[in-house]
Structure 1
Amino acid sequence: MRTSAAIMVGGLATATAAVVYQRFLRRPILTWGATPDEVSATLRGDELLPGADGVSTRAITVAAQPEQVYPWLVQMGPAPRGGAYTYDWVENLLGLHMHSSDVVLDEFQHPTIGTEIALGPNRMIIEIADPGEAFAIRSADGNWVWAFTIADGADGTCRLISRNRYRLPRLRDRIGMVPMEAGSLVMERKMLLGIRHRAETMSGGAALRRVR
């Protein structure tokens, strides 16, 4: 009886947590920093995975020109590329060999469509590389697209929008994505802040944003 009661209580707690997450937490987690218009907008890269099971759209304002943001995007990836500008120690616990660069790496500034970037077990292929506008990669199995859009902002700023689209073909993938969603916010927020810092340092925009 005690075991059955414990199971019932545990099941109720799990169901309650799932409802709370779905109703109150999931949308803010998946749309950190993005405006409602950015969340609902059709962006470059959406066409690469039209039937997505899940989408996240996160964004940040950068006090720099789009051409000062783009270089940091196209060099992302494991060594010898420029890292992911997030918590390297976390990435490297997973064996991703990330070392975030504070300088623009000239050898990665002219990406070619079809170039492969290895992210752990994922083989990512460069699909879009429009200087100052958009950059997107897609997994070799077609189940994940990570796309960046750089949009003009106000008063010399720009908006950096990061959109992930993913397909979850198996039940275990759908279950595993629940904790991954929250974890991805921690890592991606740090990444967007890292790109902003680097682009603003390049442009001198950090001081301008503090004055505002």
Structure 2
Amino acid sequence: MIGDRWGVTAAELGRTYPCDEFVTAPVLQAWRGVDVAAPPSRVWPWVAQIRLAPYSYDWIDNLGRRSPRELRGLPEPVVGDPFTATAGRPLGRVLSVTPGEQLTARIMGAVMSYVVVPDGDGARLLLKLVMGGRRGAAPFLSVGDLVMARRQLLNLKRLAES
């Protein structure tokens, strides 16, 4: 199994994430995390808004279209909703959601959980990605995910803090 992490503590690595229920024998596990100087109530709407756009490198993930920089007042996500969109085209599926706390979805063979954790006056935004299946693709997905997920979390952090 391949595992990597960026910005997470040992305790965050050891916790159980909702994605773990959907992939019981992962060939890849990747953890990402950022501190956000905003309360969870300001972070969560941005996580829920991933349904509109990827919020990473728009010129790659969104075919050059800019991810919205203002909240659109979306209803809470529900199981079965599209997970995200690229250039307006829905991708993936929401598998599990606890409003205000976690959003778990499947996209392109991977399952990812976004978890918002209170941390003092701010929050921690954590992301865990797991993938089952063939081991050969895991190293490439891990490197790509590190770059794209890092940008996504930093963009969501910046938006929640503004």
What corresponds to 2:35 in structure 1? 61
| Stretches of structure 1 lacking an aligned partner (at least 5 in a row) | 1-21, 202-212
Higher helix share: 1
2:50/2:84 contact within 8 Å kept: no
Instruction: Return the TM-score normalized by structure 2.
Output: 0.85
Q: Once superposed, which parts of structure 1, at least 4 consecutive aligned residues long, lie more than 4 Å away?
A: 118-123
Q: Which structure has the greater CA radius of gyration?
A: 1
Q: Write the distance in 2 (CA, Å) between the matches of 1:98 and 1:37.
A: 37
Matches within 5 A, 1:33-182: 33-77=7-51, 81=52, 83-92=53-62, 99-106=66-73, 108-117=74-83, 123-139=91-107, 143-154=109-120, 156-169=121-134, 174-182=135-143
- Native 8 Å contact 1:84 1:98 kept in 2: no
Note the alpha carbon deviations across 1:34-80, whole angstroms, 9 max, x for none.
00111121122321222222111110110111111111111214xxx
Q: Are the aligned partners of 2:83 and 2:106 in contact in 1 as well (CA < 8 Å)? A: no
Q: Which has the bigger relative contact order, CA under 8 A and spacing at least 6?
A: 2
TM-score by length of 1: 0.67
Q: Is the 8 A contact 2:83 2:93 kept in 1?
A: yes
* Counterpart Cα distance in 2 of 1:65 and 1:118: 24
Deviation at 1:183, TM superposition (A): 2.1
What RMSD over aligned residues (CA atoms) do the two structures have, in Å? 2.5
Task: State the aligned residue count.
Answer: 160
Q: Which runs of 5+ in 2 are unaligned?
A: none
Measured against aligned partners, the alpha-carbon deviations of 1:132-160 in whole angstroms (never above 9, x if no partner) come to 21111124x8x421111111112x01111
Q: Secondary structure at the match of 1:149?
A: strand
C-alpha spacing 1:127/1:92, structure 2 compared with 1 (3 Å): closer
Which is strand-richer, 1 or 2?
2
